[in-house]
Amino acid sequence: MKQTVLRNYARLIARMGANIRKGQDVIIRCQLDQPRFVELLVDECYKAGARDVRVEFRHQPLYKLEVRHKSVTALAKVEEWEKARLQHYVDTLPCSIYLDSEDPDGLRGINQGKIAKADRKSWPIVKPYYDQMENKQQWCIAAVPGAAWAKKVFPGLPKGKAIEKLWEAILFTSRADGPDPIAAWEAHNRDLHARCDYLNSLGIRELRYKGDNGTDLTVGMIPEGMFMGASETSLQGVDFNANIPSEECFTSPMKGRAEGVVYATKPLSYNGELIENFSVRFENGKAVEVRAEKNQALLEQMISIDEGAAYLGECALVPVDSPISESGILFWNTLFDENASCHLALGMGFTNTIRGYENKTLEECRALGVNDSMEHNDFMIGYEGLDIDAVTADGRTVPIFRRGKWAF
């Protein structure tokens, strides 16, 4: 891959993704897969004005060993130095950049029940820190190829060629392979903002999903809620793009208002394992029944990790003619597959989808209907046979999607 193209991608992440301000600290969290690109990204962060850039490397096989050998108590332990670090983040609000490259099935065979028990014990300790940073930080999730991930996407190619092909796919779908990725994203942001403006003008009371695969679901909206897409603005007044790529207009629905069944149209990578060919049935807003051809028990664990995990936290609209969908590639990775397809998320909702959230507490936003949970798990439901209608507050039915594409 040409260094000039990778340099442009690194610049896009630093300046359009995280949008680093002069004097800010930056934390980059990544796997060991692309150290040369990490160097480029660190350089671009400093050129964007960062005061300090720290890289936290992670490695899936090491985590697998931790889970195998540690007790639940040891896994769940939040050391005093970790609490001090979290408090430092609360005080300094560093930009956070995540480079995803993990094997989507790299934790297969791990004791998932052990992880769930540890997470339940540690979450009450770390949650107050995360709540204090909610909506205040700039952050961005992007991707680089990992060898195992590349072979999953392109199984018929040698490792080196598969990595190169995945680089090409990441850059194309991230609108980062042209001469000026930042200008391309500025135009893309304008288009998504215009679509959100239209959706927000309708006064949507509920969304009705129907598909010839059996999907028949109605989801209630929060009256004070709004659709968002592409760039957003932190409480510090800084615009940033949290996901590269991103093709969605999304909102957080009303907790407790979802009825019917929905069928997933792509696999879900959860905790390093794949859940495939599954459905979710809702009653009174709660997922009361799930069925999966692969990893049913893991799906059941996912919706029971805490009280909010069985309720919806997001409804996202993505047409099937998005660049990611039209690439024809199944990425086996939520960052990409969710931007090829309409999706829902179980778990935590977004408090910044409430109008005037900047003048409300997190508790006030959640009292209006935004779901809270320790997890946020997107799963894909869009395809060429999906229709979506909006029922408005004044009783109109407005087509939003027809056959998987925007109806406006």
- For the stretch 8-35, pLDDT in tens is 999 999 999 999 999 999 999 999 999 9
User: What CATH number has the domain bearing residue 92?
Assistant: 3.40.1830.10
DSSP state, residue 311: B
Residue pointed to by tokens 């990893």: 295
Same domain, 88 and 237: no
Instruction: State the Cα–Cα distance between residues 366 and 348, nearest whole angstrom.
Output: 10
Extended beta strands in 230-325, E state? 232-233, 239-240, 249-251, 253-263, 268-270, 273-283, 286-294, 312-317
Same domain, 229 and 363: yes
Q: Is the pLDDT reported for residue 230 higher than 90?
A: no
Same domain, 262 and 167: no
Q: Is the pLDDT reported for residue 73 higher than 90?
A: yes
Q: Tell me the pLDDT of the chain averaged across its residues.
A: 97
Q: Is the pLDDT reported for residue 182 higher than 90?
A: yes
Same domain, 254 and 290: yes
Chosen domain end from 153, 172, 191: 172
Compute CA distances 352 → 43, 250, 276, whole Å.
31, 11, 31
pLDDT of residue 150: 98
pLDDT tens-digit series, residues 336-356:
999 999 999 999 999 999 999
Same domain, 123 and 192: no
pLDDT of residue 125: 98
DSSP state, residue 345: E
Q: Is the pLDDT reported for residue 259 higher than 90?
A: yes
Compute CA distances 122 → 82, 114, 128, whole Å.
12, 13, 11
Q: Is the pLDDT reported for residue 185 higher than 90?
A: yes
In the three-class reduction of DSSP (H, G, I as helix; E, B as strand; rest coil), residue 282 is classed as strand
Same domain, 92 and 193: no
Same domain, 223 and 274: yes
Chosen domain end from 172, 196, 212: 172
Instruction: State the Cα–Cα distance between residues 243 and 97, nearest whole angstrom.
Output: 10
Domain range for 273 is 181-406
Q: Which two tokens stand for residue 146?
A: 């990992």
First CA to last CA distance, the chain:
38
Instruction: State the Cα–Cα distance between residues 339 and 172, nearest whole angstrom.
Output: 13
User: Sorting pLDDT into bands at 50, 70 and 90, what band is 116?
Assistant: very high
pLDDT tens-digit series, residues 268-300:
999 999 999 999 999 999 999 999 999 999 999
User: Sorting pLDDT into bands at 50, 70 and 90, what band is 1?
Assistant: confident
Asked if residue 43 lies in contact with residue 49, where contact means CB atoms within 8 angstroms, the answer is no
Same domain, 168 and 185: no
User: Sorting pLDDT into bands at 50, 70 and 90, what band is 258?
Assistant: very high
Same domain, 269 and 195: yes
Total of domains in the chain: 2
Asked if residue 199 lies in contact with residue 32, where contact means CB atoms within 8 angstroms, the answer is no
Q: Over range 100-123, report the average pLDDT.
A: 96
Same domain, 221 and 347: yes
Chosen domain end from 137, 172, 207: 172
Least confident of 44-53, 311-320, 322-331, 388-397: 322-331
